C-alpha cells in the first residue's frame, strides 16, 4: 500500500473523530458559557469566534504577504524592518477595532462602561 493511501486511511478517521469531539464539546459548552457570561457578553464572545472562524475567507492575501515580508526581513537580518512591520500591523488593527467596536456591534453603554472599568480606564 502506498504512503498516500496509508496516510489517508489514518487521517480521514482522525479528522472525523476531531469533528465529532468538537461538535459534542461545543454543544455542551454553549449553555455553560451562556450562563456564566450573560446574553450580551455571550453574543460578543460568539461574534468574535465566528469572525475568527471566517478569517481564512476574509484574509484577502494578508497572510501570504506578511509571510513574504517577514521571511525577507528575517533572511536579510533587517530586525528593525521586521519590528516596524509587525508593530504597524498590530497598531492599525487595534486602533480600528477600538474606535468602532461599540458602534459596529451595537454594544450597550453599560457593557462598554463595564469593559472600560475592567481595563482601568
Q: Does 40 reside within a domain?
A: no
Q: Does 26 reside within a domain?
A: no
- The string of pLDDT tens digits covering residues 15-30 is 889 999 988 998 898 8
pTM of the model: 0.43
- Look up the domain containing 121 and give its range: 60-121
- How much is the pLDDT for 20? 93
Q: Does 29 reside within a domain?
A: no
Q: Does 22 reside within a domain?
A: no
Counting the structural domains of the chain, the total is 1
- The string of pLDDT tens digits covering residues 44-65 is 888 777 777 776 666 666 677 7
Q: Does 46 reside within a domain?
A: no
Q: Does 108 reside within a domain?
A: yes
* Cα-based angle 46, 33, 59 (whole degrees, multiple of 5): 25
Residue whose C-alpha cell reads 473523530 in the numeric block = 17
Q: Does 83 reside within a domain?
A: yes
Q: Does 41 reside within a domain?
A: no
* Cα-based angle 52, 29, 36 (whole degrees, multiple of 5): 95
Amino acid at each position: 500500500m502506498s504512503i498516500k493511501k496509508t496516510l489517508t486511511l489514518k487521517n480521514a478517521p482522525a479528522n472525523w473523530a476531531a469533528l465529532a469531539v468538537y461538535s459534542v464539546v461545543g454543544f455542551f459548552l454553549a449553555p455553560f458559557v451562556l450562563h456564566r457570561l450573560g446574553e450580551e457578553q455571550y453574543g460578543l464572545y460568539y461574534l468574535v469566534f465566528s469572525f475568527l472562524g471566517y478569517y481564512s475567507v476574509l484574509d484577502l492575501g494578508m497572510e501570504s504577504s506578511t509571510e513574504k515580508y517577514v521571511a525577507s526581513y528575517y533572511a536579510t537580518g533587517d530586525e528593525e524592518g521586521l519590528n516596524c512591520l509587525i508593530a504597524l500591523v498590530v497598531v492599525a488593527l487595534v486602533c480600528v477595532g477600538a474606535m468602532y467596536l461599540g458602534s459596529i456591534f451595537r454594544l450597550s453603554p453599560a457593557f462598554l462602561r463595564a469593559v472600560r472599568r475592567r481595563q482601568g480606564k
